[in-house]
Amino acid sequence: MTGGATYDVLAVTGDPEVAEVGVLRFRGDDRLRVETVDGLAPPLSRDAKWIVNVSTQFGCPVGCPFCDAGGPFAGNLAADEMLAQVRWALGRHPGAAGRCAKLKVHFARMGEPSLNDAVPDAVAALPATTGAPGGWACVATVAPRGRERWFERLQAAKEAAFPGRFQLQFSVQSTDPEARRRLIPVPHWGLDDIAERGRGFLAMGDRRVVLNFALARDVPFDWRVVAARFDPAAFAVKLTPLNPTERGAALGFRTRLRGGDDDAIGREVAALRAAGFDVVVSVGDEREDRVGSNCGQAVRRTAGWAGQQA
Ligand code: SF4
């Protein structure tokens, strides 16, 4: 328990050399449980790079079919509840924030950040919370329609608090509109909207906006669609595995990356690079899968959670 927001730590699981996941319960209410990740980027040390991943909603109302964070949704976290997660992670390693060359806070765990009006406020207050000279922030979103004003507020917050040290990431998932409708089951921006609004989000010196594709088998990904719509000066491409989750497994989703399709993916990566894109292939660390630290899994394991869903 710390600062203005009160919470209890129900569990901490994982591998301290990769990522530990805390399950935090807020306001003494069993429905208000979130996950917070205190993570590293092996083989880098914590002094070189430290990643804290915070939740923005209690559950998630979007309900992507491959994600375990969907299910019972119990509302939004207040700005100080998001910052309390950061303080929890920092408090586990006293003094480390001041030494860290790159302390990156991701608003990318449970919840869709753009559905919570308090996220831009939390971003604005983050530098004062961490006191870290190497502070960065990152927001990952599926870009729901109707939240354009929220993106304007986020843009203002990042320009004030993280000039040149902020990353916006769109969870695009597929280049095919029909597949995107299936994978992101709320009205969302099309690729042309992302191309236009993403470019407008950037200021001089900002990092490129990231287009994230969690590559799944039988889900279309066509590098030519990316190259035709997006400006490589404004956008980078990140390819990730589809993390193994209970919902995803039950629905038959299987990852392409780390799933035996590396040659074909390698050709697509080469084509994108030839078209001028920065491409990151982020295979992650298989230890994360083994400890079950993917989104939503830790909360589901804590006592009483199944009862909440019933
Ligand atoms: S992937 Fe993100 S938006 Fe989709 S259900 Fe999970 S937390 Fe929500």
Least confident of 15-24, 113-122, 165-174, 284-293: 284-293
Q: Looking at residue 139, what is its pLDDT?
A: 98
Determine the atom of ligand 1 nearest the C-alpha atom of 67: 6
Ligand 1 mutation target, pool 60, 76, 114, most atoms within 8 A of CB? 60
Tens of pLDDT, residue by residue over 118-147, are: 999 999 999 999 999 999 999 999 999 999
- DSSP of 262-276, one letter per residue? HHHHHHHHHHHHHTT
Q: Looking at residue 309, what is its pLDDT? A: 42
pLDDT at 308: 45
Q: How far apart are CA 260 and CA 121, in angstroms?
A: 43
Asked whether the predicted pLDDT for residue 9 surpasses 70, the reply is: yes
Beta pairing class for 135-141 and 103-107: parallel
Give the residue carrying structure tokens 């309900």: 63
Choose the weakest-confidence range: 58-72, 123-137, 191-205, 218-232: 58-72
Question: 141: CA distance to ligand 1 center in Å?
Answer: 8
> Do 296 and 24 form a contact (C-beta atoms < 8 A)?
no
**Mean pLDDT in residue range 146-157:** 97
Give the whole-angstrom CA distance, residue 83 versus residue 107.
Answer: 10
- Per CATH, the number for 7-289 is 3.20.20.70
59 close to ligand 1 (CB < 6 Angstrom): no
Ligand 1 geometric centre to CA of 70 (Å): 6
- Which ranges constitute the DSSP H helices of 162-222? 177-183, 191-201
User: What is the predicted pLDDT for the residue at 292?
Assistant: 56
Share of the chain above pLDDT 90, in %: 75
The answer on pLDDT for 221 being more than 80 is yes
pLDDT reported for residue 104: 97
* CA–centroid distance, residue 274 to ligand 1 (Å): 32
H/E element, 26: strand 19-26
Give percent above pLDDT 70 in the chain.
91
In the chain, where does DSSP find H-type helix?
79-91, 96-99, 119-130, 148-161, 177-183, 191-201, 223-229, 246-250, 262-274, 286-290, 297-301, 305-309
- Ligand 1 atom closest to Cα of residue 70: 5
- If you measure from the C-alpha of residue 269 to the centroid of ligand 1, how many angstroms do you get, rounded to a whole number? 25
Sign of CA dihedral 27, 32, 38, 41: negative
62 lines ligand 1 (CB under 6 A): yes
Give the residue whose CA is nearest to atom 3 of ligand 1: 112
Give the per-residue pLDDT at 288: 62
260 — pLDDT class (breaks 50, 70, 90):
confident
Q: Where on the phi/psi map is residue 309: left (φ > 0), alpha (ψ -120 to 50), or beta?
A: alpha
What is the three-class DSSP state of 288?
helix
Q: pTM for the complete prediction?
A: 0.92
Ligand 1 centroid – CA 63 distance (Å): 6
Mean pLDDT computed over 167-196: 97
- Residue 242 Cβ < 6 Å to ligand 1: no
Distance between Cα 217 and ligand 1 center (Å): 19
CA dihedral 110, 111, 116, 122 (to 10 degrees): 30
Amino acid occupying residue 110: M
From the CB of 244, is ligand 1 less than 6 Å away?
A: no
**What's the rounded Cα separation, in Å, for the pair 180 and 189?**
10
Is 172 touching ligand 1 by the criterion CB < 6 Å?
no
30-69 tens-digit pLDDT = 999 999 999 999 999 999 999 999 999 999 999 999 888 8
Q: Give the Å distance between the CA of 102 and the centre of ligand 1.
A: 26
What is the distance between the alpha carbons of residues 252 and 20, in angstroms, rounded to a whole number?
A: 27
How many A from CA of 69 to the centre of ligand 1? 6
pLDDT per residue as tens digits for the range 74-118: 999 999 999 999 999 999 999 999 999 999 999 999 999 999 999
Cα distance between residue 181 and residue 189, in whole Å: 10
**Segment among 25-34, 242-251, 259-268 with least mean pLDDT:** 242-251
Kindly list the domain boundaries of the chain, sorted by start residue: 7-289
Question: d(Cα 276, Cα 232) in Å, to the nearest integer?
Answer: 6
pLDDT of 195 reads: 98
pLDDT digits (tens, 9 = 90+) for 270-307: 999 999 999 999 876 666 655 555 666 778 777 666 53
Angle between helices 148-161 and 191-201 (to 10 degrees): 30
Residue 3 is predicted with a pLDDT of 54
Quick check: CB of 5 below 6 Å from ligand 1? Answer: no
Q: What CA–CA distance (Å, rounded) separates 279 from 159?
A: 25
Instruction: Retrieve residue 172's tokens.
Output: 């695009």
Residue pair 38/86 in contact (Cβ under 8 Å)? The answer is no
